[in-house]
Amino acid sequence: MAGGAAERPVFDAGLPDRLRADLDARLQPVKEVLRDGEDLWITKARLVELHGRCEGLYLSNVLGEGEFRFSLKLAIGNLVHRAIQVGVYRRNLTETELVETSLEQLCTDDNFAEFCSELSEADRAELEAEGVRQTMLFRSLFPPFEKSWTPAVELPLSAELLGGKVVLRARPDICLGTMDPEEPMRARRLLLELKTGYDSPDHDEDVRFYALVATLRFGVPPFRVATVNLETGGWRVQEVTEELLTSAARRVADGCIRAAALLAGAEPSLRPGAWCGWCPRSLVCPVSSVRTTEAAAS
């Protein structure tokens, strides 16, 4: 973490309250739609479905349609994140040891254990090899984190709005830094999101969402958020400003209003794309790219 604390921005103490008040005001339409006892939970994934993918996919996921099943890609992602989590605190372990330890931990979950038991020898080898490879890529980008940085991996953050009717939930991959006891509104946290494969504009929105939730939860914004691509070693860095947080709040409010309307029966806007491949409605949706592909092959 280059630079000293004196270089970090100091935010106005009233900023978190202004953001919360602005969100509560914008979210009044949600309050009018939700019935007594209902609430709305919003994550980065749900916002991406609402704003950039397909409202039908959002509804299907929120309503719990379809049966959850691990894929090899998802299993690799879970394994890598667990290996990184363990490795942040146990630098003495090799990448192979981290993957072995993490795989053993993950298999305490019945769903993950069942998936692994059904893998072929080749797929099991790919799971472990990819876990080692991506863990090695992570270590090539980051030095051992000093204890003074207070590293936290997959830090769960929540913020309630509208008296608990709307709940924002975030889980940044890595959080470095903590509060400044001498100047509480000095930003000292850095939030990191780790990605593999291609870059997407959605990734920038994800970390801005993290910044907003962290601001509401801690009462002071992070000074910076970044998306780190393990494959390329590239960083996409955003300095956190009041303008960035205000923009993130407006996107959240727009998504919540649309989500509440859909749950109340509004017709979803359907958009075909790669996500059709994992949507439970893909075989019955009129615009599904999966149906189009199957029709062309028949």
Per residue in 200-220, pLDDT tens? 878 999 999 999 999 999 999
How many angstroms separate the CA atoms of 52 and 208, rounded? Answer: 15
pLDDT band at 147 (very low <50, low <70, confident <90, very high): confident
State the chain's mean pLDDT as an integer: 92
- Assess whether pLDDT exceeds 60 at residue 260: yes
Number of neighbouring beta carbons within 10 Å of residue 195: 18
The tokens 């993957």 sit on which residue?
Answer: 99
Dihedral over alpha carbons 203, 243, 166, 262 (to 10 degrees):
-60
pLDDT at 36: 82
How many angstroms separate the CA atoms of 87 and 94, rounded? Answer: 9
Q: Of all residues in the chain, what percent carry a pLDDT higher than 90?
A: 80
pTM above 0.85, yes or no: yes
Please classify residue 19 by burial: count the beta carbons closer than 10 Å to its beta carbon, then call 0-12 exposed, 13-18 middle and 19+ buried. buried
